[in-house]
Amino acid sequence: MSSFKFTSSLINILFFVLLLHTVFGANPIYQICSTSDNFTTRNDDPYGTNLKKLMGYLSYSTPPSGFSFSSMGNNKYRPYGLALCRGDVSDIDCGSCVIEAASQVRQYCLYNKSAITWYDNCLVKYSNKNFSGQIDFQNVVYAWSFQNASDPTTFNPKARKLLRALARRATESQKMYAAGISKLGESLSIYGLVQCTRDLSGNDCNSCLQDAIKLQPECCDGKQGGRVMTGSCYFRYETYPFVKA
Ligand SMILES: *[C@@H]1O[C@H](CO)[C@@H](O)[C@H](O)[C@H]1NC(C)=O
Ligand SMILES: *[C@@H]1O[C@H](CO)[C@@H](O)[C@H](O)[C@H]1NC(C)=O
Ligand SMILES: *[C@@H]1O[C@H](CO)[C@@H](O)[C@H](O)[C@H]1NC(C)=O
Ligand SMILES: *[C@@H]1O[C@H](CO)[C@@H](O)[C@H](O)[C@H]1NC(C)=O
């Protein structure tokens, strides 16, 4: 995997290539330690203990519905966190993804008060700020497949059209999730999925997804698969059936 970091004053966008879709699943796609605020292991600083409890809580509160937002502790030692599982994963896969993601990201971002990690099956985020209900477009990651689309001039607009249609469906659905297929011909289909974290309103989910879809040409132009993942919503599309119907 090659990775390049691009920073603008507003957003951090990380670009990388997904060489093989089979490589992922149990490993993070990407993780970001998103603040320089840190905590300590001193007795008078319970942030780390609260964070550990919060992550433990998320790992069992998330699977039944696929989403959980919570916080633990008091005032300045209070972490806020969320976990979101992909709309089609089982409770068991959801739970194991959140456990793995929460433990991995806390090790990777040791002592940072805020962090986010994206896996194939889940996303986990925490912060010392109450971010509930706010669109997070600060943390943005692009990923695309290595394979070129055979006919990019028709493929790209079709992919965006599918994603926009899915975004409308997700916004109206309780799970803020939608997956679907667009047939391009006899043997070629595009499989897509979109999802938002459920602390967002329907309108904010829609606007997060629309903004993410606008990044598709920049992210994944001409590629057979692509993803734009933010702290509040993401999309993915491929030419193979990666999502359970
Ligand atoms: C995360 O915390 C470490 C240790 O305090 C610090 O060196 C690093 O700069 C922090 N990361 C970010 C993104 O600020
Ligand atoms: C946390 O940051 C403070 C200053 O912002 C620094 O003095 C301290 O060493 C950092 N602690 C860790 C564990 O990195
Ligand atoms: C976090 O913010 C949300 C939305 O503003 C609010 O409803 C909630 O009560 C806040 N939670 C805490 C623990 O402050
Ligand atoms: C995809 O197209 C680019 C530019 O046309 C080319 O450099 C690259 O080698 C192609 N990749 C594959 C896997 O065919």
For 219-232, the pLDDT digits (tens) are 998 999 999 999 99
Residue 3 has pLDDT above 90, yes or no: no
Greatest alpha-carbon pair distance for the chain in Å reads 65
152 Cα–ligand 4 center, Å: 12
Instruction: Give, using CA atoms, the residue closest to atom 7 of ligand 1.
Output: 36
pLDDT score recorded for residue 1: 29
User: Dihedral of the CA atoms 120, 10, 76, 122 (nearest 10)?
Assistant: -10
- CA Rg, the chain, in Å? 18
Q: Which residues neighbour 128 within 8 Å (Cβ) at sequence distance 6 or greater?
A: 35, 37, 47, 76, 78, 79, 80, 113, 114
- Other CB atoms within a 10 A radius of the CB of residue 150 amount to 12
The chain-wide mean pLDDT, for the chain, equals: 88
Full set of structural domains in the chain with CATH: 11-127 (3.30.430.20), 140-238 (3.30.430.20)
pLDDT score recorded for residue 128: 95
**Structure confidence by residue, pLDDT tens digits, 137-190:** 989 999 888 889 988 899 999 999 999 999 999 999 999 999 999 998 888 899
With the C-alpha atoms ordered 220, 223, 229, 235, is the resulting torsion angle positive or negative? positive
**Structure confidence by residue, pLDDT tens digits, 230-243:** 999 999 999 999 88
In the numeric block, which tokens belong to residue 169? 């469906």
With the C-alpha atoms ordered 146, 148, 153, 158, is the resulting torsion angle positive or negative? negative
- Report helix angle 47-61 to 91-108, nearest 10: 160
| Alpha-carbon distances, residue 96 vs 71, 92, 122, 229, 242 (angstroms) | 21, 6, 10, 21, 19
Q: Residue 86's pLDDT band (boundaries 50, 70, 90)?
A: very high
Mean pLDDT computed over 68-82: 95
pLDDT score recorded for residue 19: 39
Residue 50 has pLDDT above 60, yes or no: yes
Ligand nearest to the CA of 41: 2
Strands 12-18 and 67-71 turn out to be unpaired
Mean pLDDT computed over 101-115: 95
Instruction: Give, using CA atoms, the residue closest to atom 10 of ligand 4.
Output: 148
Among 18-22, 33-37, 61-65, 99-103, where is mean pLDDT lowest?
A: 18-22
Q: Is residue 148 within 6 Å of ligand 4 at its C-beta? A: yes
**Structure confidence by residue, pLDDT tens digits, 204-219:** 999 999 999 999 999 9
Ligand nearest to the CA of 36: 1
Residue 9 has pLDDT above 60, yes or no: no
Residue 110 has pLDDT above 80, yes or no: yes
Among 18, 146, 148, the mutation site with the greatest number of ligand 4 atoms within 8 A of its Cβ is 148
Among 38, 45, 114, the mutation site with the greatest number of ligand 2 atoms within 8 A of its Cβ is 38
11 close to 142: Cβ distance less than 8 angstroms: no
With the C-alpha atoms ordered 76, 117, 174, 133, is the resulting torsion angle positive or negative? positive
Beta-bridge mates of residue 142: 15, 228
DSSP E strands, the chain? 3-7, 12-18, 30-33, 67-71, 80-85, 115-118, 122-127, 139-145, 177-183, 189-196, 226-230, 233-238
d(CA 205, CA 94): 21
Q: Residue 245's pLDDT band (boundaries 50, 70, 90)?
A: low
